[in-house]
């Protein structure tokens, strides 16, 4: 009997559009001969299942089920692809834990830590991971231009501590840009990071582990055509994504080893992606950890799966079956 899989997408942030694209990607990747697939859209209190005929029906939040005509369908597994709250920050994970429904990604603690970029980076710094100098601002707090220049320097990045897809991110080059950038970042989240700029090569590396195996993908080199890897670079093709990255075998091994270690330190599950900057002297610096990475056909993870000589359908099956 086929298991019923919910591909959970949407969310309550600007990343909802990206999430819905990822849902379509995952729908195309999962083996439909093994599983019954449904896309579940969540936005605020609207939880709806997309039916094959194009109609949408509400989800019963009491048991995460829906009714299709006279048939009640209860989901056996949730593939979470919400980028942002409530799917990337641990909230939805807690809901599924209480219902005893297995899901694709990290548990509550790992999701909550990694969703807060500042908290995650500071946590990993205690394990010897290199990170950029940074300041954290919470809603209602401010920072003077002088403090930014003295403690962080220019250029710098001012960005939301929560969320992704480069929404609300500004590369600040002048004193006059600091305060507008802070306001912009607070428009996306209640916490803002002021982070030192690091000159170097940007890399990203995916990883997943099951009870039987550990898989670390070939890293991708990210060469943006823009000032930084912003929304247009990520989603409108203004970037060169080179997989495998044009780096030495020794550096490739270091990237993969650190990615695997970060996975274990955080207690991750499912597929993650870790972003880095390689600065002078091949120093490897962490940018951030993504526990629900983008999964469109052109996203980094599918690229890396292909470069590793693997079939994305098999990877999806690994993720699902590992939870049973």
On the question of a cis peptide bond just before residue 155, with omega within 30 degrees of 0, the verdict is yes
Measuring CA to CA, which residue among 83, 95, 92 is closest to residue 13? 83
To the question of whether residue 275 is assigned a binding role by annotation, the answer is: yes
Give catalytic status of residue 165 as yes or no.
yes
To the question of whether residue 202 is assigned a binding role by annotation, the answer is: no
Cα torsion 242, 200, 196, 186 to 10°: value is: -20
Cα Rg for the chain, rounded, in angstroms? 20
What is the Cα–Cα distance from 24 to 10, expressed in whole angstroms? Answer: 12
Give catalytic status of residue 299 as yes or no.
yes
CA of residue 76 relative to chain centroid, distance: 23
Query: 83-96: b or e for each residue (b if 16 or more CB lie within 10 Å)?
Result: bbbbbbbbbbbebb
Query: 154-168: b or e for each residue (b if 16 or more CB lie within 10 Å)?
Result: bebbbbbbbbbbbbb
On the question of a cis peptide bond just before residue 121, with omega within 30 degrees of 0, the verdict is no
Measuring CA to CA, which residue among 318, 6, 105 is closest to residue 97? 105
What is the Cα–Cα distance from 188 to 42, expressed in whole angstroms? Answer: 19
Work out the burial of residue 278: count CB atoms within 10 Å of its CB; fewer than 13 is exposed, 13-18 middle, 19 or more buried: buried
Selected catalytic residue, list 19, 22, 165, 166: 165
Binding residues, by number, are 275, 288, 290
The catalytic site residues sit at: 15, 165, 299
Binding residues for Mg(2+), by number, are 275, 288, 290
């Amino acid at each position: 009997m086929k298991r019923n899989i919910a591909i959970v997408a949407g969310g309550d942030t600007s990343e909802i559009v990206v999430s819905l694209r990822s849902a379509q990607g995952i729908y195309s990747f999962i083996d439909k001969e093994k599983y019954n697939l449904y896309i579940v859209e969540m936005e605020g209190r609207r939880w709806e299942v997309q039916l094959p005929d194009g109609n949408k029906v509400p989800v019963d939040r009491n048991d995460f089920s829906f009714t299709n005509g006279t048939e009640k369908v209860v989901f056996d597994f949730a593939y979470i692809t919400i980028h942002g709250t409530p799917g990337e920050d641990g909230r939805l994970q807690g809901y599924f834990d209480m219902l005893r429904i297995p899901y694709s990604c990290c548990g509550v603690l790992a999701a909550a830590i990694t969703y807060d970029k500042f908290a995650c980076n500071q946590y990993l710094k205690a394990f010897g991971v290199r990170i950029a100098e940074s300041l954290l601002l919470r809603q209602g707090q401010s920072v003077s231009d002088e403090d930014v220049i003295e403690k962080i320097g220019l250029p710098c990045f001012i960005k939301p501590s929560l969320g992704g897809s480069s929404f609300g991110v500004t590369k600040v080059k002048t004193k006059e840009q600091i305060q507008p950038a802070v306001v912009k970042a607070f428009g996306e989240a209640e916490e803002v990071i002021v982070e030192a700029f690091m000159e170097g090569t940007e890399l990203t590396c995916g990883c997943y582990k099951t009870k039987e195996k550990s898989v670390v993908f070939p890293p991708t080199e990210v060469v943006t055509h823009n000032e930084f890897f912003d929304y247009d670079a990520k989603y409108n093709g203004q970037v060169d994504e080179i997989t495998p990255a044009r780096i030495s075998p020794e550096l490739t091994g270091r990237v993969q080893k650190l990615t695997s270690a970060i996975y274990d330190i955080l207690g991750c599950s499912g597929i993650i992606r870790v972003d880095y900057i390689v600065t002078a002297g091949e120093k490897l610096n962490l940018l951030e950890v993504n526990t629900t990475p983008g999964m469109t056909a052109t996203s980094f993870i599918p690229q890396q799966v292909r470069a590793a000589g693997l079939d994305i359908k098999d990877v999806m099956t690994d993720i699902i079956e590992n939870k049973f």
